[in-house]
Chain A
Amino acid sequence: MSGIQQHFISSPSLGRLVKGLSRLPRLLLSVVAGYLRELGVGLLAILAAMVVVGFMIAAAGLDTLRAYRALLEGSVGSINGISETLVRATPLILIGLGIAVAFRGGMWNIGGEGQFYLGALGAALVGIYLPPMSPVVHVLLALLSGFTCGGLWAAIAGYLRARRGANEIVVTIMMNYLAAFLISFLVSGPLRDNSRLIPVPQTPRIVDSAVLPRLIPQTRIHAGFLIAIVAAVAVWFLLERTTVGYSIKATGENPEAARYGGINVPLISTLAMVLSGGLAGIAGMSEVTGVHRYLLEGISPGYGYLAIAVALFGGLSPLGVILSALFFGALMVGAEAMQRAVGVPVATIYLLQGLVVIFVLARQVLLRRRRILDLKA
C-alpha cells in the first residue's frame, strides 16, 4: 500500500467519504432497482386486471380495444383530460397519504371518507363566515381548519382504540356514516343557502379570498394539487427523517417492542390517527376551496374508500401514493370517456380498481414469501 493511500485511509473522515463514494453507484443502483421492481409489480397488477376486465367487456358484447383507447385518450389525451386527471388525483393523494401514515403506524384507519367530509366542513365554515381578507391568510386558515376538523374526527377513533381498546376499523367506518349524516343535516338545515329561489341542500358560496387559484386557464386544475405534492414531501420527511416518524413505524411494526424501546405507544398511535385524519381533512378543504366553492351533500364520490386502494397499491410510500393516485384519477376520468364512446358502464373501473388491489396484494405476498424462503435456504 503506498504512502498516499495510507494517508487517505488513516484520515477517518476522508476515508469514510471515499468509501461512501465508491459505494454510491451500487447503492443508487439497488435503490433504483427496488423502485423499478415495485413499479413492475404495479404495472403487472394493472395489466392482469385490465386483461380480466377486458374479457368481461368483450363478454358483454362490446369492443374492448376501442373502450381502452377511449379510456386512455379521455384521461391523458388532451390538456383538459390531464387537468381532470390531476383534479381527481389531488384528494386521492392527500387521503392516501393519510391512510399510509395510519397503516404504517398500525392503525387501520378506514375513515378517510368521514375525515374528508369533516375537513370540507371546516374549510367551508372558514370560507363562508370569515370576512374577506388576504387570500394567502384566508386559504391558510381554511387549510388549518380543514386539517383540524379532519384530525379531531379521526382522533375520536384513535383515542378509543389507544385508551379503551375499541377496534378502530369498526369505529372509523361507523364515523364515516355519522359524518355523512352530519353534513347532510347541516347543508339541508342550519347551513343551507336560503338565498336561492328553490333552496337546494348546499351552503352559500365561500368568499373569493378563500378560493384556491386555478393553475391553467380554461381548466379546473387548482392549487390543491400543489398542496398535495407538498404534503407528500412532508410525509416522506416525517416518516424517513424524524424521530416521530420512526416511532410511528416502530409502533406499527411491533407495538410490544416499541413499548419496550420507550415509545409511548398510545400517544404515537393516536398521533398517527390525527395526522391521517388531518391529511384527509386537507383533501376536503382542497375540494371545497378549489373545485366546488361551497359545501354540498355528496361532495365525495367515494374518494375516502378509493384512497384505501390508492394507499395499498402505492405500497404505503409517499411516492407510490402519488403514482397510484394519478393512475386511479386517470381511471375515473377515462371511465367517463369510455362510457360515452363505447357504452361500457362507468362502474367497470370500480371492478378494475378492486382487481388491481387484489392482484397487487397477491404479488406482494408472493415476493415476501420468496424472500423468506431465500433467507431460510
Chain B
Amino acid sequence: MFWEQMLTVAFLGSVLGAGVRLAAPLLFAALGELFAERSGVLNIGIEGMMLFGALCGFLGSYFSRNAWIGLLTAMIGGGLLSLIHAYLSITMGADQVVSGISINLLAQGLVTFLNRAIFGLPMLPPSAVPFTKIEIPLLSKIPLLGPLLFSHHALVYVALALVPIVYVTLFRTTFGLRVSAVGEDPRGAEAVGIDIARTRYICVILGGMLSGIGGVTLSLANLNLFKESIVAGRGYIAIAIVMFARWNPVTTLGAAFLFGIVDALQMHIQSLGIALVPPQLLLSLPYIATVLFLVSRAGASSAPSALCVPYVKEH
C-alpha cells in the first residue's frame, strides 16, 4: 500500500520536480560558498546572508510589486553582509569562523528587528509578488523529465544555468586561475603580481550575493512568505555540500540535487499521511543526511590549502 502509493510516475515526477526546486536555494548558496572557499576564505556567515537576502528580496518585491526587483535587493542585501565578513577576515585578519558566526548572530538580530518593525506580528503572513512557474512548451509534458527540468520558476533555470558558468569561470578564465592560486598558495600568487585582498574581496562578495539569491529563492519562489526561521540551517547545509562535492561546481550540482531529493521525499511522505512514521523523524532526514554525507567523505584532502588562513603581507 505504502509502496504502491510511492511508485507511481506521478509521485516520482513530483518528487523529482520538488527535489530540483528545493535544491535551487542550496545550489545558489553552495556556489557562492565555493567562490569564497576557493579563494581561501571560509564563510560560515552564508546562513545569515541567506536569511538577510530572503528578507531583503521579499521586501523588494513587496514594495515594488516586481519579483525581479526583489532578486536585485536580495543580492544587495547578501552582498552588504558579506562586505562585513570580507572586511573583518581579509582586511583585519580576524578569525574567519568567529567573524562568520558573528555575522550570523547579527543577521538574525537585524532580520528579526526589521521584520517585526515593518510587518509587526500579523495573523496572516504578508505576501509579495513571487516568481511564478514557467512551463516550457512541449518539453514540460515529457513524463519524469518534464517535471524534473522544464516546469519550474525562473530561479531554478537561473541556478542550473549558473553551474556551467561558474565552472568555466573557475577553470577556464584568468580570474578563476587567480582565485585558485590565491586559495592554494597566496604567497606565490602575490609574487607573480596577484592582488590577494582584491581577489578575496571579489570572491566573498560574489558569494554573499549568491547566498542572497539563495535566500530569495526561499522567500519569493519556493514559498511566498517570509518568516524568521525560513533558512533553517540551509546555509550550513550548503557548506556541507561544498565539502562533500570537493570544491567542484559540477559535483556541487549533484550534491545539492541529492539534498533536494531527500527534502522532497520527506515532504511527500508526510503528505501521504502515513501514521507509522513520526513527522519529526521525517523532518530530521535532511539534517541526518547532512551529517552522514559529511562523515562519508570527510578528510579535507582537496580543500584549498590556504582555507581559513588570514593573509598577512610581508614587507
Contact = CB atoms under 8 A, between A and B. Distances in A.
Contacts of B84: 358
Given A170-B290, A366-B92, A355 B295 contact: no
Contact of B109 (A165, A355, A366): A355
Given A170-B239, A171-B294, A185-B278, A352 B109 contact: yes
B240 A354 contact: no
B113 A347 contact: yes
Interface stretch (A175-183, A217-225, A233-241): A175-183
Main secondary structure of the interface of A (DSSP, over half): helix
Contacts of B295: 160, 164, 166
Given A347-B112, A347-B115, A350-B109, A358 B284 contact: no
A357 B93 contact: no
Contacts of B99: 361
A141 to B, nearest CB: 28
Interface stretch (B100-108, B136-144, B162-170, B219-227): B100-108
A177 B233 contact: yes
Interface string B165-186: 0000000000000000000000
B274 interface: no
Contacts of A305: 105, 108
Contact of B239 (A167, A175, A185): A167
B240 to A, nearest CB: 5
Interface string B285-315: 0011011001100111000000000000000
Range of interface residues on A (Cβ < 8 Å): 35 or more
A141 B98 CA distance: 36
Interface in A305-363: 305, 308-309, 312, 345-355, 357-358, 361-362
A34 interface: no
A68 B22 CA distance: 43
Contacts, number: 134
Contacts of A348: 113
A244 interface: no
Contact of A165 (B94, B233, B278, B300): B300
A137 interface: no
A353 B107 CA distance: 10
A60 B116 CA distance: 12
A209 interface: no
B109 to A, nearest CB: 3
A369 interface: yes
B283 A165 contact: no
Interface residues of B, number: 44
A77 interface: no
Contacts of B294: 160, 166-167, 170-171
B189 interface: no
Contacts of B115: 347
A85 to B, nearest CB: 20
A357 B105 contact: yes
B281 interface: yes
B232 interface: yes
Interface string B68-99: 00000000000000001000100011100111
B288 A308 contact: no
Nearest to B99: A361
A5 B137 CA distance: 102
B44 A169 contact: yes
A308 B113 contact: no
Given A165-B300, A177-B233, A362-B94, 13 more contacts: A110-B101, A164-B295, A164-B298, A165-B299, A167-B298, A171-B294, A177-B287, A347-B115, A353-B109, A354-B107, A354-B110, A365-B88, A366-B92
8 contacts: A170-B236, A174-B237, A174-B288, A351-B112, A355-B106, A358-B88, A361-B99, A369-B93
